[in-house]
Amino acid sequence: MPSTTTRRSLLPILAAHPGGRRAATCRYRCGDACSQPVPNTSDNTYFGDVVRGAVRRRSVLAGGAAALAGVAWAAAPDAAAATSELPDTDHRLWGFPSISPTPADVDDLVVPTGFTWAPVISWGDPVEPGAPAFDVDRQSVEAQKGQAGYNADYLTLRQDGDRGWARRRGVIVFNNECTNPEMMFPDWDGSVTAEQAEIEMAADGRRMLGTLNNCAGGDTPWGTVLSGEENFNQYFDSTGAPDPERRLARYGITSGGRGWEQADRRFSVADEPHEVNRFGWIVEVDPDDPGSTPVKHTALGRFKHEGATIRLAHDGRGEWLPHVVDGESGVEGMTVAEVCTWTRLAADRVGPTKMDRPEDVQPDPQTGRVYVALTNNTARTPGQIDEPNPRVNNTFGHVIEWREDGDDAAALRFRCKIALVAGDPSDPGTYFSGMDRREVTPISCPDNVAFDGEPGHLWISTDGAPGTIGTCDGLFRMPTRGRDRGLVQQFLSAPSAAAR
């Protein structure tokens, strides 16, 4: 039998939003983005439209987007074509008995028979000398500064030398994305006090609030860790702030904030109109040097970054779209500072392809093929469906695989195909890289992707399954090559209230 815990739910199960997340998750993780006006009102093409056109023409589409110059899109191949491109690998050699989907109201963490789990670190655990033991009824700003933060998102294990089970020493690096005051404070009455706001700030894992709403991330080849500042917009009170050019609106800065302006007026846009520009960047930290200063990479542009991934070309080169070339702006009507600071608006002018909520990008460390998790798009209309995106309201999401020309990370063109169209395998609209749908487990809302040390082992975590497919979110493995390509198996089921 799968291993479970025995405990009862301590919190009511809240209704899900259209995208499949719990209401509390939508509120505190992304600021109810799905109920706010759509920030991207440009007439640029949707991803589905591009693929539909490419299926007809099989032609290279001119145009651009951040880090993409020209794209040649291809339809999902049949199983034979999928397995012929890469060497076969027997993925069942490193196996586990796939668990069954867990109903959405089960508050247990489930792993396969033969595996166990245990918490490594929890919110409030002391992480600095002198920090007190956590007491939910005796919280303070000073105590929280010395304790582990709240809602970890990106996590990586850094080990010296080659990877392998023989290594037993390493460093876990994780960030903190957001806070849930209704869960943190027993006396929460619907709005935070100034002191509670300061505790929330400290629970984001920082002594000084220099980075905010850190979501996914990535490791660099030189040993540092990247983190993306995603839904920072929700923390700023935009009441009374002028926005004649709709720059704030394009970044979703349209709400009354979360009350943090009570503790720090820089979260009031009317008082500090440029403070919002400090957030929305890719942040690089050096875990081996705690005294080092984190770096925000302004050259990568400012928008609501989910995360970041680096893949080096064979000779170390890299090339980007000409938004900024030789220190000069490549976007008509915008200065270099404007391009870097208001990158969403710059991209609107260049004309990128709209995507279905891309959440994570990872390259296969052996083949260089790149995999992108697109969680869902519940706003897809009948006019936007196509062969690789066959459903109105892409509730369940999909995973894309692309191959850069010559498998060269510096290439400006690539070919793209669908690796996974998620959902209930009994639905004929699902697709598992040609794998027989009777052999796979249901999966919905792919959110993060990663590779392990075995060839072609792609791991997928989900975010939104309870509200879309009726099961708990989980962790899945899907081989990307060989005879088992597309064989989705579930390894872990998260508790119902995890909402991630």
Task: Give me 249's structure tokens.
Answer: 């609106």
CA 167 to chain CA centroid, Å, is 28
pLDDT at residue 444 tops 50: yes
DSSP 80: H
* Strand partners of residue 325: 328
- Which range, of 63-77, 249-263, 297-311, averages the lowest pLDDT? 63-77
Q: Let me know the angle formed at the C-alpha of 352 by 423 and 325, rounded to the nearest 5 degrees.
A: 140
pLDDT band at 129 (very low <50, low <70, confident <90, very high): very high
Please report the DSSP string for 110-133 in residue order: BB-TT-----S--TT-B-STTPPP
For residue 9, is it within any domain?
Answer: no
The least confident of 80-89, 129-138, 241-250 is 80-89
Query: Is the pLDDT score of 131 beyond 80?
Result: yes
Q: Which of 20-24, 89-93, 151-155, 265-269 has the lowest mean pLDDT?
A: 89-93
Contact 451, 459 (CB under 8 A): yes
What pLDDT is stored for residue 168 in this prediction?
66
Structure tokens at 318: 């890299």
Rounded CA gap, 403 and 405, in Å?
6
The DSSP letter of residue 443 is B
Choose among 256, 253, 252: nearest CA to 239.
256
Quick one: pLDDT band at residue 25, thresholds 50, 70, 90?
low
Q: How many domains does the chain have?
A: 1
| pLDDT beyond 80 at 76 | no
Q: Which residue has the higher pLDDT, 31 or 175?
A: 175
The dihedral built from the CA positions of residue 16, 236, 361 and 448, taken in this order, carries a sign that is negative
Range of the domain at 93: 23-498
Say if residue 61's pLDDT is above 50.
no
- Detail the DSSP E strand segments found in 405-496: 413-421, 446-451, 457-462, 474-479, 489-493
For the chain, percent of residues with pLDDT exceeding 70: 74
User: Please, are residues 405 and 414 in contact by the beta-carbon 8 Å criterion?
Assistant: yes
Name the residue with higher pLDDT: 20 or 430: 430
Q: Is residue 15 part of a domain?
A: no
C-alpha distance across the termini of the chain, in Å: 24
Instruction: Give the CA angle between residues 264, 279, 68 to the nearest 5°.
Output: 170
The whole-number average pLDDT for the span 178-200 is 94
Provide mean pLDDT across the span 65-77: 30
Q: For 116-125, 247-256, 313-322, 426-435, which range has the lowest pLDDT when averaged over its residues? A: 313-322
Contacts of 41 (CB under 8 A, 6+ apart): none
Q: How far is CA 466 from CA 6, 441, 462, in A?
A: 20, 15, 10
If DSSP codes are grouped into helix, strand and coil, which group holds residue 428? coil
Share of the chain above pLDDT 90, in %: 54
405 or 242: which leads in pLDDT: 242
Residue 146 domain flag: yes
10 domain-assigned: no
pLDDT tens-digit map of 375-400: 988 777 776 655 445 566 788 999 99
φ, ψ (nearest 5 deg) of residue 437: -65, -20
Residue 165 has pLDDT above 90, yes or no: no
- Residues with Cβ within 8 Å of 405's Cβ and at least 6 positions away in sequence, in order, are 411, 412, 413, 414, 415
How do residues 258-301 score in pLDDT, each as one tens digit?
999 999 999 999 999 999 999 999 999 999 898 899 999 998 89
Instruction: Report the pLDDT value the prediction gives residue 486, as an integer from 0 to 100.
Output: 96
- Rounded to an integer, what distance in angstroms lies between the CA atom of residue 98 and that of residue 143? 42
Confidence of residue 320 (pLDDT cuts 50, 70, 90): very low
Q: Give yes or no for a contact between 154 and 217, defined as CB atoms under 8 angstroms apart.
A: yes
162 part of a folded domain: yes
Checking if the pLDDT of 68 tops 60, the result is no
- Rounded to whole angstroms, the Cα distance separating 416 from 432 reads 15
Give the model's pLDDT for residue 87: 44
Tell me the pLDDT band of 64, cut-offs 50, 70 and 90. very low
Residue 28: the pLDDT is: 65
pLDDT of 60 reads 24
Contact criterion met (CB below 8 Å) for 99 and 2: yes
- Dist CA 198 CA 185 (whole Å): 12
Question: What are residue 401's phi and psi, to 5 degrees?
Answer: -120, 130
In a domain, 47, yes or no: yes
6 in a domain, yes or no?
no
Give the pLDDT band of residue 46 (cuts 50, 70, 90). low
Q: Is residue 17 part of a domain?
A: no
Per-residue pLDDT tens over the stretch 446-488: 999 999 888 899 999 999 999 999 999 999 999 999 999 999 9
Nearest to 174 by CA among 100, 252, 222, 120: 120
Supply the pTM of this predicted model.
Answer: 0.79
Tell me what pLDDT residue 408 has.
86
